Structure formats: structure tokens, C-alpha cells
Amino acid sequence: MTASEVVRQARRPAVTGSGRGGTTNRREAAGTLRLLPALGAALGGGLLTFLAYPGHDLWPMAPVGVAALVLAARGQSLPRAALVGFVFGAGLVTPLLSWTGVYLGPIASVPLSAAESGYYLLAGVVIAAVHRLPRGGAGGTVLRVLGTAGAWVAAEALQSRWPFGGFGWTRLVFSQADAPTAHLAALGGAPLVSFAVAAAGALLAEAVAAAVRPSPAPRRASGSVAAAAAAIGVVAVGLAVPTPVGAQEGTLDVAAVQGDVPQAGLEFNAQRRAVLDNHARGSARLADEVASGQRQSPDLVVWPENASDIDPFRAGNTDAAALIDAAALEVDAPLLLGTLVHRADGLIGNTSLLWEPGVGPTDSYVKRHPVPFAEYIPYRSFFRLITDTVDLVGTDFAAGTEPGVVPVAGTTLGVLICFEVVEDGLVADVVDGAGPGASDGARLLVVQTNNATFGYTDESVQQLAMSRVRAVETGRAVVHVSTVGVSSMIMPDGTATQRTPLFEPALLQADLPLRSSETVATWLRRHGVPLEGLLAGSGLVIGAAGLVRGARPGNGHRAQRGPATPQVRPARSEQGGGGTSSLGTRRMAGGPLRRGRRGARRCDAGAGYRSAAW
């Protein structure tokens, strides 16, 4: 073969793989899953992540589940990545929120699960976008990990705010109460914990991708081990974060009464007087045990949300008011109880009422974020067209306007009612008090809740985990008390020192530390550092960079027009020159001649071709 024939042969592309332009091989080289396997991996990832939450308590499954989503979404088109994200969300949210349908059925659980799954669309899209960036060695890995973790925080930030004030129950942070990562809440609050878990999952995905990447075995092994070690390091770093528990302003002896209800379910409050009597009996038992020396006299007694759904302020309910006053007198301590107060405008306030023995009510807090479709019905006339179950909520609850800062027994309580413990802003408000720099913020947190409407499900332990995370985040002890359980006394490091069973009357009592110092998370927030915005913004910016790169010509993404370039093998000369002619040059895929060292392969896009994947 002459030199001119060698050059002509080298210019002819040799196609490898199957499908249009070798698409299959490009997909395999990039590690991209086909759609059905990707959806299966995403669904499996969601289910694995579900196992991390209370009820199963396998917290390491959270980063493993995130890794499955990353592997499923990487390399996908944006519509496919959105679908992958939604399927992941469905795998996580549907079992995690199944308690919403225990008594109402699918009319409640299906729409909520679908809506909550939708937030993971954003995560899937951004994850796919960040994986369009060049690999770039360690730098590329860092960008992909930061982009993935930031995207997760962005999705959770949206979930926690919109619509109707948001519902962030499924955030990754609330699966980590027993994990080392929970300590990171003291540094950056709930968003930093979710960021760390997602980052660990992204690193695990990098470890898997490195292990299967077509490269020499030693290089594959070193890359995979390094990424896996980094994932472990991200999880373990929380162990180095101090979470002090010592008292700074003395202690407060708090007793909590879990009175139980006659019957679980939506009709628990049909026997409102029985529920009130149960809690009064619990206080009487407490008084008896104090009198007999079995217990110390408490500084404060706490009843849960809905302990008295009989409004003690109404003229016809003087017997309820008398019973509450008697309970406070019997234990000779202020009583903080959950009740419903009817307003002049016809609405109801879900209220935490402070009752001093022999004095009566002296302070109160009204729940600031009533739960949509449970405590009020937004757009009632519209949703009634869909189902008449909206009328189970006969009277809408009104939102309070002031933070739950309640002075009592020489200190300050931060009061949160039920689902309010989910919301970062409401927790921050009670710690801040009158505002940044104020000295009247909470020294102790109280979470009053009612779990009777969710039966024997994991809802109660999921909510308890949230209070444990808030203890670490704020550096405050927490009294978590429920009508039916699970109730607990929680130390500032998140340790639950006491815990009650479900649907049994119980008493809790502990001498809890009063703390006034700021955690790093509190300090950053009070000084205007928008940590959540910075973390979420990093993911969105990196994702946007991936989208921009994906739209550039010659990058191998579908955004570029023209037929796909087949992979090319330069023809070898008769002299075995590796595709090099006697002129010492090589030409590929119609591109211009390029000089280079032996074995270097390069071609330019030309004549409607994409760059070949080497």
C-alpha cells in the first residue's frame, strides 16, 4: 500500500457500536443508564433512603439512596432526569408519609405524596446538569459533589416554603438524629446536615463510577477508594463538633403528662372531656408521687397539644377551667397546656396556655402555621368540588402572629406546637426572642403535639427525631410531649433521656439544663449569613454551568445539532505505523491534519460530525 492509499484509508471513519452514530457506546462510556434501569435505580434509591428514617433507623441508607439517584440521573437528558427524580421521590415519600392516609385513605396520602415527590424533580435535573461538566480529575469531582449537595438543599428549601408555607417533613436531616452528621446542625442548622448527607451520597456515586470506568485497574481502584473514603469522612466529621449539655443559667425541673385518649383516630376529640380528664388524672398522680417522696416537686408541668379541646374561656366551660386550675394547684406549679380558643371572628386559635395555680391564665402562644387541609382548608370551595372530606375541618384555625416565647419560673420557654418543629424559621424565632441580639430568647424548648390522629404509625417517632435535631441545632434541651406518645425529654446534644410508649398514660420528669449560649448555626443566622441560600445557590450555579456547557457545539451533548460522530479507528499502515502515514501526519473524520506524538488521538469536528468519543 502506497503512502497516499494509507492517508485515504485513514480518512474513512470506522464505526463501532450500534445505533445511530454509536450512541450506545457513548452512553456506556459515560456510564449512563438506559431509562428503565435508571428508573429502577431511582425507585430503589428512594426506598433505601426511606429506611434511614425513624421506624427503621438505618441512617447510613440515606447517602446510599442519594448515590443511587445520582447514578440514575447522570448523563440523562433533562426530561428524563426530571422523571428519574420524581420516581426517587415517590419511592421515598410514599412510604414515609403513609400515615397521612391511615384514617382518610388515598384521598389524603396520594395527592400529598405526589406533590412532595415533585420537589425531587429539581434535584434530578440539577444532578444531570452538573454531570455535564468536564471530569477534570479531583476538581471535576468536587464540582459534581458540591452541585449535587447544593441541588438537594435547593429542593428542600423550596419544599419547606411552597405552597401554603411548605411541608419539609421528608428532608434528609430528619433521618440523621442518631448519625454523626446530626452534630453538624450545631454548625449550620438543618440545611448543612442535608447538604452533608447528599454530598456523601454523591461521593459514593463517584466511587461506583470510578470502579466501573474503563481505565487501568490500579487507577480504577485508587479513584474508587478515594471517593468512598471521602464519603465516610464527610459523615464522620460531625463527631468532631462539640455539643455541650451543661447548664449555664441553672436548671428547670419539668414534668410532662401524657394523658392518652379514649380512641385513636380522627374522632379522638369527640370525647374532649375524657381527654381533659385523662390529663387531670395524670397531674393528680404526679402530685401524689411528689407527696409520697417518689418525685421531686416540679417547677413546671406541661400538657400536650389538644389536652383540653374545651375552651376554658367560654362562658359555658367553667367546669373545664376549674379542673385545669385544680390540677395546677394540686401540683403547685405553673401548667402549660394545649387548648383551643374560639375567637370573636369565628376562627379558632390552636393555643398553648400558661396557667398559674390560683391565678389562672397569664400568658399564651397561638400556633403561627396551622396545617393546610388539617387545621384550615385553603380554597375550600374549589377543593370541595374534588372531595367533600374538606368539610371534616368545620372551622378554620387562625394563624398566630407572635413567636412562642413564654416567660415562666424565672426563665424563658420557646414553645412550638406540633408540625411547627419542622420549620427552621419558627424554631429560630423562639431562640432569638424579640430579635437578633435580644436576651429574652428561649433557654428551653417545648414541643407540644398530638399524634392520636395517626394511630400506631411511625409519624410520632419521625416527629421526635425532629425535636432531637432541633436540640442540637439550638443547643437547648427540649420537652417533647404528646397526647398519646411518643413523648421524651431531650438533652441539648440530642440525646433522648426518657421515652414513652404509644397510647399509654405516662409521666416524664427531668431536671433540664437552661442554656443561653449560641451555637455556630445560631451565630451565623443572627449575623445575617444566609447559609441555606449559599448552599442551595452553589448547586444551582454549578448546575447552570453544566447546562451552558451542554448547549455548546462540539461537547457531545444532544443540544448540538447534526448527526452523531461515529467512533473512528485510524487505519494502520502496512508498516504498522498506528495510522500514521510516511509523512508523519494523521487525519481523522474529515478534520484537518494534526501533528502529534505517537499514540495521541485527536480529531476536530467537521462536515456535520460531533467530536468522536475516545
What is the set of active-site residues?
Answer: 305, 367, 418
Contact partners, residue 304, CB within 8 Å, separation at least 6: 256, 257, 258, 259, 279, 338, 448, 449, 450, 481, 482, 483, 487
CA dist., res. 510 & res. 446, Å (int):
13
* Main-chain phi, psi angles of 348, to 5 degrees: -120, 140
Residues 538, 205 contacting (CB under 8 angstroms): no
The DSSP bridge pattern shows strands 251-258 and 506-513 to be antiparallel
The three-state DSSP-derived secondary structure of 532-592 is: HHHHHHHHHHHHHHHHHHHCCCCCCCCCCCCCCCCCCCCCCCCCCCCCCCCCCCECCCCCC
Residues 179, 194 contacting (CB under 8 angstroms): no
CA dist., res. 290 & res. 279, Å (int):
17
Contact partners, residue 464, CB within 8 Å, separation at least 6: 54, 480, 486, 488, 496, 499
In DSSP notation, 311-336 reads -TTSGGGHHHHHHHHHHHHHHTS-EE
Closest CA to 149 of 234, 54, 49, 242: 234
In DSSP notation, 440-496 reads -S-SEEEEEE--GGG-SSTHHHHHHHHHHHHHHHHT--EEEEESSS--EEE-TTS-E
Closest CA to 454 of 175, 98, 41, 158: 98
CA dist., res. 99 & res. 50, Å (int):
14
Give the sheet arrangement for strand 348-356, strand by strand: 360-366, 348-356, 335-342, 300-302, 251-258, 506-513
Give the sheet arrangement for strand 411-417, strand by strand: 405-408, 411-417, 444-449, 478-482, 488-490, 496-499
Give the C-alpha distances (Å, rounded to integers) separating 552 from 73, 143, 280, 386, 609: 21, 19, 71, 46, 14
CA dist., res. 415 & res. 366, Å (int):
10
* Main-chain phi, psi angles of 281, to 5 degrees: -65, -40
